[in-house]
Amino acid sequence: METVLLLIIISMIVSIGFLIAFIRAVSKGQFEDLQSPSVRILFEDNNVKLSNKLLDEN
């Protein structure tokens, strides 16, 4: 019985930690823009073109 109580306490502490991390991420705006990251890969970056040119020259 003591083991079950210990496991419940530990799981509550871990779940509260995850809840705090989630609330902090939401408050800092991490989940504001859900569309751009999936579309960003479709557009070629100018820095990639420049680095490819430099690699081709060497």
Confidence of residue 52 (pLDDT cuts 50, 70, 90): low
Residue-wise pLDDT tens digits, 13-43:
999 999 999 999 999 988 787 777 677 777 7
Give residue 42's pLDDT.
Answer: 74
The pLDDT of residue 13 is 98
* pLDDT the model gives residue 54: 56
Q: How many CB atoms lie within 10 A of CB 3?
A: 7
Q: Between 55 and 31, whose confidence is greater?
A: 31
Q: Structure pTM?
A: 0.55
Helix or strand or coil: residue 25? helix
Token representation of residue 34 = 């859900």
- Which tokens go with 41? 């890969």
